[in-house]
Amino acid sequence: MKKVAIIMGSDSDLPILKKTAATLKSFEIPYETHVYSAHRTPEEAKAFAQSAKKNGFGVIICAAGMAAHLAGAFAANTTLPVIGIPCRSSNLDGLDALLSTVMMPSGIPVATVAIDGGANAALLAAEILALGDDELSRKLDEKRVKDAAAVLKKDSEIALRIEE
Ligand code: RP5
């Protein structure tokens, strides 16, 4: 199976990426983790993106806060799918990172998940890899059924819980 790259702009983003790693792990998807910054280490970020395809990666997840150009900078240097996670890390509550990540110019797409959406980034990466992997696709379907059952269990208990 191809690997997923988990790239964060700073180790201060780590709590969000822990959810990404845990979710990938639950599907037995191999991943590699790095800290590269679009602004502080632009050359290293570019080199990683340019060699990612030949190094066995299938999807790249980039998480960054503030003026979050990391996902866009990666997408500019590869045609692998890039998923951006805007991180809440400043006075603007993540709206800065959301807009910086999502508003890409035509031709260089970034699939942007919610602010701090670490788990969804991993699930989207899994869905992309599952296009060529029936076993992974089956695991994703199974998770949906399990998640729905958990909500329905809560539904059956809520009338009692509201009286507590
Ligand atoms: C971004 O700036 C990082 O992704 C992080 O979310 C934010 C703050 O970085 P640090 O100052 O904590 O290293 O580039």
Provide the strand spans (E) within the chain: 3-8, 31-35, 57-65, 82-87, 111-112
**What pLDDT is recorded for position 90?**
79
Distance CA 60, CA 122 (A): 10
Which residue range(s) make up the domain with 92?
A: 3-132
Average pLDDT score, the chain: 98
Above 90 in pLDDT, residue 157?
yes
The pLDDT tens digits for 70-117 are 999 999 999 999 999 999 987 999 999 999 999 999 999 999 999 999
pLDDT of residue 133: 98
Do the Cβ atoms of 72 and 42 come closer than 8 Å?
no
Query: How far, in Å, is the centroid of ligand 1 from the Cα of 55?
Result: 27
Residue 8 counted as domain residue: yes
Q: Is residue 44 part of a domain?
A: yes
Pairing label, strands 82-87, 31-35: unpaired
Residue 111 lies in a domain: yes
- Of 110, 64, 112, nearest in space to 88 by CA: 64
From the CA of 13, give the closest atom in ligand 1: 6
Number of separate domains in the chain: 1
Is residue 149 assigned to a domain?
A: no
Q: What is the CATH number of the domain that holds 68?
A: 3.40.50.1970
Q: Is 34 contained in some domain?
A: yes
Whether residue 90 has its Cβ less than 6 Å from ligand 1: no
Q: Which atom of ligand 1 is nearest to the CA of 38?
A: 14
Q: Where residue 68 falls among pLDDT bands split at 50, 70, 90? A: very high
In a domain, 110, yes or no: yes
User: What pLDDT was estimated at residue 150?
Assistant: 98
Does residue 162 belong to any structural domain of this protein? Answer: no
pTM for this structure?
A: 0.96
